[in-house]
A and B are shown apart, each in its own frame.
Chain A
Amino acid sequence: DTEVTQTPKHLVMGMTNKKSLKCEQHMGHRAMYWYKQKAKKPPELMFVYSYEKLSINESVPSRFSPECPNSSLLNLHLHALQPEDSALYLCASSQAPQRASGRTSTDTQYFGPGTRLTVL
């Protein structure tokens, strides 16, 4: 099973709302990622979790708050978003993050189908 699931598929929210995006995988992966994709642009990395700890934050505004409650789940909490935050949010997971030893060079990131977010 190489499936990464994301809910909801679509989300419309106002600028004062609080909402959350959810991502789940059952492949035993210990690295999970959030990407943001605007129309006609490449996916851009937002956050990386390794072994349930935040390891990379690509200078994302604090109105986006990631959470990794366990090794299978990744959430993205949204608060006070702006219309320009409307985008497709993709979650991905991979087998193992970089370590000093034992890392394979063929780690693939497996992606979910994304949540299409519209901020009004």
Chain B
Amino acid sequence: ILNVEQSPQSLHVQEGDSTNFTCSFPSSNFYALHWYRWETAKSPEALFVMTLNGDEKKKGRISATLNTKEGYSYLYIKGSQPEDSATYLCAHRLISNFGNEKLTFGTGTRLTIIP
């Protein structure tokens, strides 16, 4: 994996169902993995920052796991609600040669919850 890839690109889920999607990233020079939730016409909202292999984070019905050795992270949403409809972006953070952090984003998974 050379870039950050997210799958699927889009997803329709019935209200009340649970769902998950994937972020794949280069496993070398790993520093951190960020998840953002982005609703149309709003600011991307930070969900999680994950740094350690095996990390699992939770925020309400949303949780994420991290595998830095194989280069992937999963985002899970339990009991989807209409307000979960958004694009979910992951971003891979490296340490650049200048010593500053640089985020490389995936193209996102667009989630639509069907009432």
Contact = CB atoms under 8 A, between A and B. Distances in A.
A31 B4 contact: no
A24 to B, nearest CB: 13
A42 B103 CA distance: 11
A107 B107 CA distance: 22
Interface residues of B, number: 26
Q: How many of chain A's residues touch chain B, expressed as a range?
A: 20 to 34
Nearest to A98: B99
Contacts of B108: 42
Interface in B53-90: 89
Interface string A60-95: 000000000000000000000000000000100010
Given A48-B100, A98-B101, A106 B46 contact: no
A43 B108 CA distance: 10
Given A42-B4, A42-B89, A31 B100 contact: yes
Contact of B51 (A56, A90, A106, A114): A106
B2 interface: no
B32 interface: yes
A107 B101 contact: yes
B37 to A, nearest CB: 11
A26 B49 CA distance: 22
Interface of A: 3-4, 31, 40-45, 48, 50, 55-56, 90, 94, 97-100, 105-114
